[in-house]
């Protein structure tokens, strides 16, 4: 049994909950909760977010994770007020990027449910997630250039890989706001939906994924992410190892036998 105390702690900058899912594993939900600051991602907020991702990842009852903000803002960026007096040495000594790197180690899928602004670090946080569901009025962008800085939490890399050099270059160098529809057409988003249902849609997707055999889900996620960072040969090698590994799970036998016996599979997630 996993330690589930983290679900009952009071957080300062986020709300954390579990959404039950019938026969499937639950969905872990994080809501960014600094409405007066447009959910700006200050250090304490990021620490709470990343620690909760890790807690969900270690919790056997959770199959998929959703992170959202409020209708006005997913997050309008890193907290400019916190960074205004910061220097290079201060930034280097604090090494806050280490916290962002921890997100890359999360094995369970993470879905960003975005309404309103997803700017700067907010946009980068959506891109560290595995899928993005956006309300049609959501606005994305990397406006750091207007502060005489540049994206530092993966924006120049993940945006470019997702939508290509020509479009990423224009968006980052102008800092302009980009509509959800444009980002969808460019390939950054999984889906754009009516404003009222963005969270509902993200949770429905998360529940669907959480009802699949968990080890297969996690190894498929690992293989897909690996494809972004490596050659086709190395990528195929990991895919094959993960594929073989799944033949050692109980769920593989259950899944195939359930198909042959024309019944619903009863996943054990092992």
Burial of 262 (0-12, 13-18, 19+ CB in 10 A): exposed
Report if residue 203 touches ligand DAK, rule: CB under 6 A.
no
- Least Cα distance to 199 among 258, 91, 259, 114 occurs for 114
Segment contacting ligand DAK by CB under 6 A, of 11-19, 32-40, 107-115, 261-269:
32-40
Catalytic annotation, pick one of 124, 141, 154, 168: 124
Binding residues among 55-94 for ligand DAK as defined by CB under 6 A: 76-81, 91
Fill in the DSSP letter of residue 269: -
Burial of 44 (0-12, 13-18, 19+ CB in 10 A): middle
**Residue closer to ligand DAK, measured from CB, 63 or 143:** 143
- DSSP for 65-110, written as a single string: EEEE--SSEEE-SB-HHHHTT--HHHHHHHTTHHHHHHHTT--S-E
**Residue closer to ligand DAK, measured from CB, 48 or 144:** 144
Catalytic annotation, pick one of 37, 73, 76, 78: 78
**Residue closer to ligand DAK, measured from CB, 147 or 186:** 147
Segment contacting ligand DAK by CB under 6 A, of 1-9, 11-19, 145-153, 252-260:
145-153
Report if residue 13 touches ligand DAK, rule: CB under 6 A.
no
| Catalytic site includes residue 144 | yes
Residue 30: what are its φ and ψ, rounded to 5°? -115, 130
| Catalytic site includes residue 216 | no
Question: Dihedral of the CA atoms 222, 226, 228, 231 (nearest 10)?
Answer: -160
Q: Which residues are catalytic?
A: 78, 121, 124, 144
Binding site for ligand DAK (CB under 6 A): 37-38, 40, 76-81, 91, 96-97, 100, 117, 119-121, 143-144, 147, 152-153
């Amino acid at each position: 049994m996993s330690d589930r105390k983290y679900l009952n702690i009071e957080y300062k900058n986020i709300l954390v909950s579990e959404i039950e899912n019938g026969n499937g594993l639950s969905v872990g939900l994080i809501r960014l909760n600094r409405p007066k600051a447009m959910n700006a991602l200050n250090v304490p907020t990021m620490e709470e977010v990343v620690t909760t991702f890790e807690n969900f990842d270690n919790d056997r009852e959770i199959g998929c994770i959703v992170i959202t903000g409020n209708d006005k803002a997913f997050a309008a960026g890193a907290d400019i007020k916190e960074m205004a007096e910061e220097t290079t040495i201060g930034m280097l000594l604090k090494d806050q990027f280490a916290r962002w790197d921890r997100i890359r180690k999360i094995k369970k899928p993470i879905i960003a449910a975005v309404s309103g602004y997803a700017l700067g670090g907010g946009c980068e946080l959506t891109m560290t997630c595995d899928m993005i569901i956006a309300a049609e009025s959501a606005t994305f962008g990397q406006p750091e250039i207007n502060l005489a800085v540049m994206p530092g939490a993966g924006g120049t890399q993940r945006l470019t890989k997702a939508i290509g050099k020509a479009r990423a270059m224009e968006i980052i160098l102008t800092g302009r706001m980009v509509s959800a529809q444009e980002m969808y057409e460019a390939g950054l988003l999984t889906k754009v939906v009516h404003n009222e249902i963005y969270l509902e849609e993200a949770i429905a997707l998360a529940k669907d994924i959480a009802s699949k055999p968990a080890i297969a889900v996690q190894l498929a996620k690992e293989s897909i992410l690996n494809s972004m960072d490596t050659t086709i040969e190395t990528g195929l090698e990991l895919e094959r190892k993960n594929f073989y590994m799944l033949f050692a799970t109980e769920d593989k036998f259950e899944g195939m036998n359930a198909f042959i016996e024309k019944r619903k599979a009863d996943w054990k997630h092992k």
